[in-house]
Amino acid sequence: MNKFRVAFAVSSVVLLIVLAVSPLKDFFREWKRYQLRYDDVISQLPQRINPAEIGIKQIWAQKLDRVDRCTTCHLGLDEKALENAEQPFRTHPRIYHKVEDFGCTVCHEGQGSATTVAEAHGDIEFWDRPIVPPGFMEASCGKCHKEHEVPEAPILTLGRKLIRESNCTGCHKIGKYPRQWVPSLDGIGTKVNRAWLFNWLKNPKGYFANAKMPNFLLTDDEANNLTDFLLTYKSFSNDVQLDSLPTLVTSVTGAQRDKLVELGSTRFREARCISCHPINGRGGYVATDLVKVASKTNVQWIYNYIKNPKRLQPGVQMPRFGFTQTDLAAVTAYIESEFVDYDMKELPPHTPDPGYYEKGLAVLKKYNCTGCHTLGDMKKAEAMGPELTVVGSKSKYEIDFGKAEVEHSLPSYLYAKLKHPRVFSAAMKMPEYEFSDNEAQAITVALLGNTNENIPEQLKIPPTPSGTFDPQGAFGRLADTLACFGCHTMFGRGRLVATNLSIEASQAQRKWIEGYFKIPYSLRPILTERMPNLFLSDLEIKTIVDYMEAVFAADSIEREISIDAATVAQGKLLYYGTYGCQGCHQINLKGGFVGPALDKVGSRLKPGWIYHWLKNPQSFKPGTIEPNNNLNETEARAMTAFLMSLQ
Amino acid sequence: MKHTFTLCCSLLILGCSREGIRTPHQTGSDTTVAAGQPSRDMLTPMLTYEQRQGREIYLRYCSVCHGERGGADGFNTYNLDPKPHTLADSAYVAAISDAALTQVIGFGGRGVNRSVLMPGYQWTLNRDRISYVVSFVRVLARNAEIKQ
């Protein structure tokens, strides 16, 4: 009997304990401690903040089909007073997206529905999308903002720019990233000398620091065979033959030669070659450095190239200057005598390997040189690296970390791969780009944003399609030979190294445009990329300007502004007294030089354009630093009148 | 009996509480750095989102006069009279409230009875963007202080 009682007592106690497990477990939930702690934290602040209601909180981001419970512990997201509070209570920075609509995990990743710290942040096995580490946050912007430039995400924007410039698409398919134009290798055997080519293949950055081609870490044998192989390509595409050098370059010596070189130097400066070609790193960024070019390239090739760039390199964005025969010879002679590499490494005597052709071809195939370059009738190789279109969704188990000492996560993998491409296995073929830490970080960010996540169409911001403006006829041919699209944008096509010309004829006066082609003086002294003197004939200028007046116009901004003494005086007062325009613009050598000098602006610009520009500069040039001063009608008219009076 | 019960209860309680309060997730800050692994020091100086946004806007619109590091040494500074005030002076900047800084950026020098050479940006930058600049100006002052 007694035994039975004891058993009954024990089982009752056990039952009681079992029953208590569930409420106790609930009572000691991890998040509850954070909510209590939150009350402690806010009680120490001078302001009164509503204490946390005990309970799970969640955000249902309906459009994205996500449920995030992060706000259960992250309680102070909207409380301005908690800016410096301990985590998880700190204020969220002000962003453009409402947390109620987007939730948390679409940007931050992690496991939204979890309610413990470790599980929510994804620090657990089999959860592939842990919290985005600091410094890589902007990757998530890239999920919806497919536009190349996202002004609010500078790291992402830089990364995308680097992906395009480094021409990663030569080997990897990455969504809709286009392939860059890369010089053709046809005729390379007639263009460069052996020593240069060998040294270049071994280490492009050794030739000049901003070389775009990465270092493929070739062995001496590989580089020798590839060099010998490439040098067999002596003829140019389309059966182009090089014109022979004029006797002026070959036979003239002594004082006459000096005179020729001096003329060449003048033309070289007048044509503003350094707007695009840097010399020893100084100058533009659009084209290659010329500092050692005479030791690299055959003089005959240089002469032919300047004479007609697109004949030797179809697709290159270099204008064909209107040089006379003498000018051409002079510039060639100048380049030949000026840009010599005095430290070029001499190669030891070399006998080609008997099987150099096959071996060289094998090296070329192995490193996919034709991914970027064209060569003979060899087809541009299909992307041979892994496709990176959705690399941001790669799971950890898909990645081979090898024996590298790298944190096993996707961001770390990509970052390490970009910094040291062969760190995971010596058999990898990716070349070394020598990215800086910030650049590698930016590219990683851009790649991480390429996910296969299901984002509703209405939230996606697709890239603006580039324009298809393709002028024909006389102007079209000129635009092609002068490579206008290499710097200018017209109706969405081209680059923005220089001005957008889409409404140029409504902005500037005809006479001024004509004069500018003759002497393209610098409107903004701080710019490095200046308009070259193309040495155009009067007929060519007329053709261009006629076309511009017919096409590059916006009738809606044409406007007559009356210029009488009183209005001009009022405008002057506004210019100097109220809006302090002289802070950035110069008139008569007084004032700043952030914007263009405004001397004689009345004979340069059209009044309608000035009026509309003053009212809203950003509508013409997004991101221009000139502030919108919210001028009223009278003010805008008065200032236009004042500027137009500066003849 | 009583002891057994207490023991059981305390065991249960211990079992339920897995970990104490901790600051979650400090990735990158205290992990050891191996070859090629991003660490905090190697990344863009760790600014908050607002400060980073502010930096971009500041470099675009303000640095030509106020200087990249706020030292009033932008390339355009030398054309200005009066000269812009240095923002790398922590005492000076600390004495200006956020509201006053917002006012200066929004309305320009004219709006606060200072030089008209500083334009107002209230019609160019929205309120959020101006507040980003304010938070970055505080970073400039702080950096200058650290250097001293």
Band (pLDDT 50/70/90 cuts) for residue B7 is low
Which residue's structure tokens are 């100086």?
Answer: B45
For residue A32 the two structure tokens come to: 């509850």
Residue A58 contacts by C-beta under 8 Å, 6 or more apart in sequence?
A67, A68, A69, A71, A72, A113
Residue A402 contacts by C-beta under 8 Å, 6 or more apart in sequence?
A423, A424, A425
Cβ of A582 within 8 Å of Cβ of B117? The answer is yes
Backbone angles phi, psi at A518, to 5 degrees: -70, -55
Q: Which residue in A117, A156, A621, A630 has the most chain B C-beta atoms within 10 A of its own C-beta, making it the best mutation to test that interface? A: A117
Given a cut of 60, whether residue B38 has pLDDT beyond it is no
Backbone angles phi, psi at A343, to 5 degrees: -105, 15
Give the model's pLDDT for residue A93.
Answer: 86
Band (pLDDT 50/70/90 cuts) for residue A521 is confident
Given a cut of 50, whether residue A604 has pLDDT beyond it is yes
Given a cut of 80, whether residue A335 has pLDDT beyond it is yes
Q: How far apart are the first and last CA of chain B?
A: 69
Could you say which DSSP state residue A64 is in? T
Residue A71, judged by CB atoms within 10 A of its CB (0-12, 13-18, 19+), counts as: buried
Give the model's pLDDT for residue A349.
Answer: 81
What's the CA gap between A165 and B131, in Å, rounded? 33
ipTM of predicted complex: 0.81
Band (pLDDT 50/70/90 cuts) for residue B145 is low
* Average pLDDT rounded to a whole number, residues A109-138: 88
What's the CA gap between A407 and A594, in Å, rounded? 46
Cα distances (angstroms) measured from residue A72 to each of A64, A133, A358, A547, A589:
20, 21, 66, 64, 62
Average pLDDT, chain A: 90
Given a cut of 60, whether residue A75 has pLDDT beyond it is yes
For residue B78 the two structure tokens come to: 């030398």
Cβ of A21 within 8 Å of Cβ of B121? The answer is no
Residue A508's SS3 state is: strand
Q: Are B74 and B126 in contact (CB under 8 A)?
A: no
Cβ of B5 within 8 Å of Cβ of A13? The answer is yes
Give the model's pLDDT for residue B10.
Answer: 53
For residue A574 the two structure tokens come to: 């506004």
Give the model's pLDDT for residue B4.
Answer: 57
Band (pLDDT 50/70/90 cuts) for residue A124 is confident
What's the CA gap between B21 and B26, in Å, rounded? 14
Cβ of A420 within 8 Å of Cβ of B35? The answer is yes
Q: Which residue in B7, B46, B116 has the most chain A C-beta atoms within 10 A of its own C-beta, making it the best mutation to test that interface? A: B116
What's the CA gap between A116 and A124, in Å, rounded? 11
Count of A–B CB contacts within 8 Å? 163
Give the model's pLDDT for residue B14.
Answer: 45
Cα distances (angstroms) measured from residue B88 to each of A216, A447, B71, B78, B115:
45, 36, 5, 17, 19
Band (pLDDT 50/70/90 cuts) for residue B5 is low
Helix (H) or strand (E) holding A410: helix A410-419
Residue A29 contacts by C-beta under 8 Å, 6 or more apart in sequence?
A115
User: Which chain A residue shows the shortest CA-CA distance from B116?
Assistant: A580
Given a cut of 70, whether residue B48 has pLDDT beyond it is yes
User: Which chain B residue shows the shortest CA-CA distance from A87?
Assistant: B23
* Average pLDDT rounded to a whole number, residues A160-175: 91
pLDDT, tens digit (0-9, with 9 covering 90-100), for B103-135: 999 999 988 888 999 999 999 999 989 999 999
A477 compared with A176, residue with greater pLDDT = A477
Give the model's pLDDT for residue A210.
Answer: 83
Q: Which residue in A405, A528, A614, A619 has the most chain B C-beta atoms within 10 A of its own C-beta, making it the best mutation to test that interface? A: A405
Cβ of A627 within 8 Å of Cβ of B28? The answer is no
pLDDT, tens digit (0-9, with 9 covering 90-100), for A405-445: 888 889 999 999 999 999 888 888 899 999 998 899 999 99
Query: Is B39's Cβ below 8 Å from some Cβ in A?
Result: no
Given a cut of 50, whether residue A390 has pLDDT beyond it is yes
Band (pLDDT 50/70/90 cuts) for residue B32 is very low
A517 compared with A523, residue with greater pLDDT = A517
pLDDT, tens digit (0-9, with 9 covering 90-100), for A29-44: 889 999 999 999 988 8
Band (pLDDT 50/70/90 cuts) for residue B25 is very low
Given a cut of 80, whether residue A601 has pLDDT beyond it is yes
Give the model's pLDDT for residue B39.
Answer: 38
Task: Name residue A487's amino acid.
Answer: C
Cα distances (angstroms) measured from residue A132 to each of A4, A55, A384:
60, 26, 29
Q: What does the H/E/C string look like for chain B?
A: CHHHHHHHHHHHHHHHCCCCCCCCCCCCCCCCCCCCCCCCCCCCCCCCHHHHHHHHHHHHHHHHHHCCCCCCCCCCHHHCCCCCCCCCCHHHHHCCCHHHHHHHHHHHHHHCCCCCCCCCCCCCCCHHHHHHHHHHHHHHHHHHHHHC
User: Radius of gyration over alpha carbons of chain B, in Å?
Assistant: 25
Q: Which of B40, B52, B131 sits opposite A94 (nearest CB)?
A: B131
Taking the model in full, what pTM does it have? 0.85
Query: Angle at the Cα of B3 (from B1 to B4), degrees rounded to 5?
Result: 65
Cβ of B16 within 8 Å of Cβ of A94? The answer is no
User: Which chain B residue shows the shortest CA-CA distance from A90?
Assistant: B23
Backbone angles phi, psi at A66, to 5 degrees: -130, 145
Residues in chain B: 148
- The share of chain A scoring above pLDDT 70, in percent, equals 99
Give the model's pLDDT for residue A400.
Answer: 87
What's the CA gap between A530 and A480, in Å, rounded? 19
Which residue's structure tokens are 């506004």?
Answer: A574
Give the model's pLDDT for residue A593.
Answer: 85
* Average pLDDT rounded to a whole number, residues A324-329: 93
Give the model's pLDDT for residue B30.
Answer: 31
What's the CA gap between A90 and A82, in Å, rounded? 5
Closest CA to A629 of A615, A613, A640: A615
Closest CA to A260 of A338, A148, A362, A377: A338
- The share of chain A scoring above pLDDT 90, in percent, equals 55
Q: Are A642 and A572 in contact (CB under 8 A)?
A: yes
What's the CA gap between A523 and A505, in Å, rounded? 17
Query: Is B37's Cβ below 8 Å from some Cβ in A?
Result: yes
Residue A102's SS3 state is: helix
Give the model's pLDDT for residue A240.
Answer: 87
* Average pLDDT rounded to a whole number, residues A282-293: 87
Task: Name residue A549's amino acid.
Answer: E
For residue B92 the two structure tokens come to: 């000076």
Residue B16, judged by CB atoms within 10 A of its CB (0-12, 13-18, 19+), counts as: middle
Band (pLDDT 50/70/90 cuts) for residue B3 is low
